[in-house]
Structures are given as C-alpha cells and as structure tokens.
C-alpha cells in the first residue's frame, strides 16, 4: 500500500469515528504537501462526500447548541460555548481547505476582497477548479450558518463557471437560499393571536425570488422530470413561506390528491410505495410547518390525519421526532393568545377588518365601556380559544407518549410551558403525570460518571448530557407544582412532595432550601394578607349590621 493510500485509509477511519477535526487537519496537510497526489488517490466525489459529512456534523453541533442555550441559565453567550466554538472552528477550517485547494499562496482566501469579482483572480493558482459537488458543499455550509449572502455568492460564482449546468441538488439549495425553502431561517412573526418576531438570518439578504420562477427555470433545463421527496419537501416549504395558501393547497392536491378539507380526489391514482415521490414523515412535517405558517394549524392536523390514512405513514419512533417537535411548536404559536391580541381579532371578526372598534380599544376595560361592544360574545370567543388550546395540548401529549418517540427537549419544554398556564384544568394531576414521564426518561438516560457511555468528546452526545437536561426540566416542574400547592394554601403538602418526588438527595436538599427560604415567607405573607382582608370584611359587616339596627 502506497503512502497516499495509507493516508486515505486513515482519513476514512477518522471520518467513520466522526473525529472530524482530525479529518480536516489531515486534508489540510495533504493538500499543502501534495494536492495533485491527493486527487490522484481520492476522486473529487470522494473528497466532496467526506467534506459534506463534516458540514452535516457542524450543523448538528449548532442545533445542539441552540437546544442547550434555550434551557441554560448561562448568559456568557456564544463566545464561550464549546459547542458553538467547535462549530465555528470547523467552518473556518473548511473555508481554509477550499482556499488551499485553489491557491498556492496560503494568505489568499476564497472570501478575499480581490476574489469578489472572480474566484480565480490570482497569479498563484493550483490549477484545480471547484467541482459541482464542491459548490453544493459551500452553499450548504453557508446556509446552515444562515449566511444567505455568502450562499448567494456561490450561486453567482457557479453561474459564471458552469453556466446552465445546475445539478438537482443545487436547485434544492437554490430554493432554500432564494425562496424560503429553509424553515429554520424564517422570520417568526406568525399566528395572529401570538405575535412574535425573530429573524435567524446572520446576514443581510434582499435577493429573494418567487418559487414559481425558480421552478420554471428548473423545468426548462430538466424537462418534465418527477420530483422526489426532498425536492417536494423544499417546494412545500417555499410555497408556505410565500404566504400563497391557494398555491399550497393546489400543490398538495395535485401531487398527493388530498384537498385542504381533507377530502381525497377520487380520480387520483395513489402512487406506488416504490415511487421516489411517495410521501414520508418529512413531507408531513413540511405540510404542518407550511400550513401553520399561514395560520392553518388545525387544517394541517386534518390533512396530516388523512395522509396517514391514505399513505400509511408511520409517525412513531425516533425518526418522527422532528415531526412532533414542529407540531408542538406550531400548536403553541397558533393557539397562544393575549388579551390585547384576542380583543383585536374579536373586533375584526365582529365588525370587519377595518373596524373602528378594533382601533379604538387598546384594553378590555376600554372596550367594556363601549355600549356597542359585545362583551358576552368576547368572553365566548376567549373561552373557545382557551378550550381549543387545552384540547389540542392534552390530545397531543397523549398521542406523543403513545408514539414512543422518547425524550425531546423541545416537546417537553413546550408542554411544560403550557402546564404553567392558568387555563389548564386538573393541573396537579397533569404535573404528576409529567413528572412520571420525566422520571422514566431520567432512569433510562442517567448513568454513572465513570460509565463507558459517559465521554467528554464534544463530538459525542453522552447520555449523561440528556439526563442533565431532563434533571433541569424536572426541577422546573417540581417548583411549579410546589407553587400551585402553596398558592392554594396547601403549603403543608410541599415538604412531603419534595421528600417523595425528588430524583436524588441533592435535589431534595436544594428544593427544601428553596422552599424554606424563598416560598415559605411568601406563603406566610399571603396568609397574613388574607387574614387582614378577612378581619376588615368582618368589621365592615359589623358596621353595616349596627347601621341596620339603628334604623330599626
């Protein structure tokens, strides 16, 4: 075996072990020492495949970072988080790797100022050109990091170098870059009853295109080719992002034969399970997200139910985790409401979208003073919304546990947030049920620190890390249940609750201390206030009785 072959074997070994930092170091050293020899030993497709594995892993690190940050109390930010730092470290190495492939001078870079107009503007080129797969990798990496301006730059460079030779994968990436086909990048400002605004994009980007324009370009180059699931999934996201609900309904109906009212086209021929367009769990997820983004969450649930019936799509097990995470997310957004938003929507419903009432009343108290305001109708409207929210979450939580998905931080956190709302009925029992589910998961993932399953390798998500997340959620749930009890004047039940339901001695000690120093004083203050109010009421009643006797 030659030296180059041995290096390749080592490279593949580390890639298989997911030690991607070492993989990039080996590639950088190989490129610097013998670029031509490297590509004589390894094909361009093999090289691009290995780099793609690193890019996918880098995105996984970012997702783990985002999940951890949403629960963490650490406010130090990205700059100190090891997951985020590792992810950014890999990005810089990949950019450097591609720079070294193109340029002899190590100071030159693919994002250098002198490369803005021409990627190959250099007196010291290696002679190697980027392949189509390399372009796919670079676009994908920048998209994963929400650098839409850089992703667009690679499309511009590709157009100069390859003209109309767009690959199938590049068209999917183009839809994600220009047409909203990447839902994690959407500006979250949906659900009229729960307005929120957050833009994940990490760069300024203003060159969006209509999905229909990109699809026309695709068909003009590829003929009437049939789209597979990955392409259809992206198209559904794009149409949902465009807010064209009629187009979305038409696309789902024409491809899958299911109408927005969940009726099935009788003339539609159900495709074979071997068909690359036969819908899977990712298609269902896309439909949920796209419809919910257009304030059609309940419609999405009906359509998804019909999809399961017609296409027999399995929504159980770990593979369906993202599907359920999206359902819980959009259930929360779609049915959440505030007094101000519900008042505004009710006014629109009763008086029309240009209602003077909708503009005039900034609060419920203001609206109640208006003789034209239908207060009873408003109360019925709010009751309908709250009942819908309660029914949706109760059913989803039961279905989720039946599906055997296992622990999902996003789902568990969303459901816990719902339990903390005052509208929830039978809250205590629901908390005990939630704690029982967490307890089972904790026992499943909790391992001894010296166990083989516990590692410090940042590339490996040890089960103990999951156990730690479950532990933190459990504490939050315990504190919420304790608050419910003492606020209902049952503070005496709190110490036994802590004693019986704590996961370990440390939790028991911490919760007892928290209750005694933080909650017990508040409880005593509440009881004293209630006593004073009761005494004042008694004195007032006595005075009223004396006044009545005087009249007699």
The pLDDT tens digits of the residues spanning 272-282 come to 999 999 999 99
| Average pLDDT score over residue span 378-404 | 93
- The predicted structure's pLDDT at residue 460: 44
Cα distance between residue 133 and residue 47, in whole Å:
9
pLDDT value of position 31: 97
> How far is residue 277's CA from residue 273's CA, in Å, rounded to a whole number?
9
Residue 483 has pLDDT above 60, yes or no: yes
pLDDT score recorded for residue 75: 45
State yes or no: pLDDT of 270 exceeds 80.
Answer: yes
Is 351's pLDDT higher than 80?
no
Give the pLDDT confidence of 177-235 residue by residue, as tens digits: 999 999 999 876 544 444 444 455 555 556 789 999 999 999 998 888 889 999 999 99
Asked if pLDDT for residue 112 goes beyond 70, the answer is yes
How far apart CA 178 and CA 66 sit, in angstroms, is: 24
What pLDDT does 428 receive?
96
Query: Is 50 exceeded by the pLDDT of residue 464?
Result: no
Spatial contact of 96 and 64, defined as CB atoms under 8 Å apart:
no
User: In this predicted structure, which of 10-24, 142-156, 454-468, 504-518 has the lowest mean pLDDT?
Assistant: 454-468
Residue 202 is predicted with a pLDDT of 52
pLDDT tens digits, one per residue of 139-181: 999 999 999 999 999 999 999 998 768 999 999 999 999 999 9
Instruction: Determine the pLDDT at residue 196.
Output: 43
Tell me the C-alpha distance between 153 and 195, whole Å.
33
Please name which of 128, 129, 126, 121 lies closest in space to residue 105, comparing C-alpha atoms. Answer: 126
Question: pLDDT band for position 447 (50/70/90)?
Answer: confident
**pLDDT bracket for residue 353 (50, 70, 90):** very low
Say what the pLDDT of residue 338 is: 76
pLDDT value at residue 94? 98
Q: pLDDT value at position 356? A: 47
Lowest mean pLDDT segment, chosen from 150-164, 186-200, 409-423, 434-448: 186-200
Q: What is the pLDDT of residue 348?
A: 76
The answer on pLDDT for 40 being more than 70 is yes
Q: What is the pLDDT of residue 457?
A: 46
Tokens representing 129 are 């050109």
Judge residue 12's burial from the number of C-beta atoms within 10 Å of its C-beta, 0-12 exposed, 13-18 middle, 19 or more buried.
middle
71-106 tens-digit pLDDT: 555 545 566 789 899 999 999 999 999 999 999 999
Q: At 454, is the pLDDT very low, low, confident or very high (cuts 50, 70, 90)?
A: low
Least confident of 19-23, 119-123, 348-352, 408-412: 348-352
Say what the pLDDT of residue 223 is. 87
Rounded distance between C-alpha atoms, residue 478 and residue 195, angstroms: 30
The full DSSP string for 97-130 is HHHHHHBSSTT--TT-GGGSS-TT--SSB-S---
- DSSP type of residue 203: S
- The residues with which 279 forms a beta bridge, in sequence order, are none
Which two three-digit tokens encode residue 288? 């949920």
- Output the pLDDT for position 449: 61
DSSP state of 488: T
pLDDT bracket for residue 461 (50, 70, 90):
very low
Range 388-395 average pLDDT: 94
pLDDT at 78 (0 to 100): 62
Give CA–CA dist 198/215, Å, rounded. Answer: 28
- pTM, rounded to two decimals: 0.86
DSSP conformation class of 193: T
The pLDDT-based confidence of 339 (bands split at 50, 70, 90) is confident
Q: Mean pLDDT for the chain?
A: 88
Q: Which of these, 137, 130, 133, lies nearest to 160 by C-alpha position?
A: 130
DSSP collapsed to 3 states, 383-448: HHHHHHHHHHHHHHHHHHHHHCCCCCHHHHHHHHHHHCCCCCCCHHHHHHHHHHHHHHHHHHHCCC
Confidence check: pLDDT of 456 > 60: no
416's tokens = 């816990």
- Cβ-in-10-Å burial (0-12, 13-18, 19+) of 316 comes to middle
At 366, the pLDDT band (50, 70, 90 cuts) reads confident
Which stretches within 446-504 are classed as H helix? 463-487, 494-501
**Is 352 or 286 the better-scoring residue by pLDDT?**
286
> Contact, 431 vs 481, CB < 8 A?
yes
Average pLDDT over residues 339-351: 77
């Amino acid at each position: 075996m030659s030296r180059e072959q041995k290096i390749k074997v080592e490279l593949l070994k580390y890639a298989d072990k997911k030690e991607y930092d070492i993989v990039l170091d080996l590639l950088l050293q190989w490129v610097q020492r013998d670029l031509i020899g490297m590509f004589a030993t390894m094909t361009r497709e093999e090289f691009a495949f290995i780099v793609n594995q690193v890019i996918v892993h880098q995105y996984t690190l970012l997702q783990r970072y985002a999940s951890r940050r949403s629960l963490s109390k650490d406010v130090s930010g990205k700059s100190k988080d090891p997951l985020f730092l590792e992810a950014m470290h890999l990005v810089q190495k990949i950019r450097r790797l591609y720079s070294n492939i193109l340029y002899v001078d190590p100071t030159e870079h693919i994002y250098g100022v002198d490369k803005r107009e021409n990627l190959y503007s250099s007196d010291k080129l290696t002679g190697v050109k980027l392949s189509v797969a390399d372009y796919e990798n670079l676009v994908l990496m920048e998209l994963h990091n929400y650098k839409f301006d850089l992703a667009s730059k690679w499309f511009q460079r590709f157009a100069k170098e390859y003209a109309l030779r767009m690959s199938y994968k590049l068209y999917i990436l183009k839809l994600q870059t220009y047409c909203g086909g990447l839902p994690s990048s959407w500006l979250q400002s949906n659900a009229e009853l729960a307005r929120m605004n957050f833009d994940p994009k990490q760069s300024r980007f203003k060159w969006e295109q209509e999905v229909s324009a990109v699809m026309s370009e695709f068909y003009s180059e590829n003929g009437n080719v049939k789209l597979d699931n990955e392409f259809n999934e992206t198209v559904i996201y794009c149409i949902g992002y465009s807010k064209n609900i009629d187009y979305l309904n038409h696309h789902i109906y024409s491809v899958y034969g299911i109408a927005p009212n969940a009726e099935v086209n009788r003339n539609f021929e159900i495709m074979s399970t071997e068909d690359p367009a036969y819908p899977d769990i990712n298609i269902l997820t896309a439909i949920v997200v796209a419809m919910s983004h257009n304030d059609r969450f309940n419609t999405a649930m009906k359509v998804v139910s019909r999809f399961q019936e017609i296409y027999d799509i399995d929504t159980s097990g770990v593979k369906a985790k993202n599907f359920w995470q999206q359902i819980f997310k959009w259930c929360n957004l779609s049915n959440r409401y505030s007094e101000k938003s519900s008042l505004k929507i009710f006014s629109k419903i009763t008086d029309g979208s240009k209602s003077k009432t909708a503009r005039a009343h900034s609060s419920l108290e203001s609206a109640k003073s208006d003789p034209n305001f239908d207060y009873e109708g408003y109360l019925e409207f709010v009751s309908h919304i709250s009942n819908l929210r309660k029914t949706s979450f109760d059913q989803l939580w039961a279905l989720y546990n039946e599906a055997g998905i296992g622990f999902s931080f996003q789902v568990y956190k969303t459901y816990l947030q719902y339990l903390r709302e005052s509208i929830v009925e039978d809250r205590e029992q629901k908390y005990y049920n939630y704690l029982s589910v967490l307890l089972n998961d904790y026992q499943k993932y909790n391992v001894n620190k010296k166990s083989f399953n516990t590692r410090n390798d940042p590339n490996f998500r040890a089960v103990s890390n999951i156990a730690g997340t479950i532990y933190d959620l459990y504490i939050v749930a315990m504190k919420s249940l304790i608050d419910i009890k003492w606020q209902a004047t049952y503070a005496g039940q709190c110490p036994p609750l802590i004693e019986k339901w704590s996961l370990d001695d440390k939790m028991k000690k911490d919760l007892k201390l928290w209750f005694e120093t933080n909650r017990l004083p508040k409880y005593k203050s509440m009881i004293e206030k209630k006593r004073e109010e009761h005494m004042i009421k008694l004195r007032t009643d006595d005075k009223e009785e004396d006044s009545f006797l005087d009249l007699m």
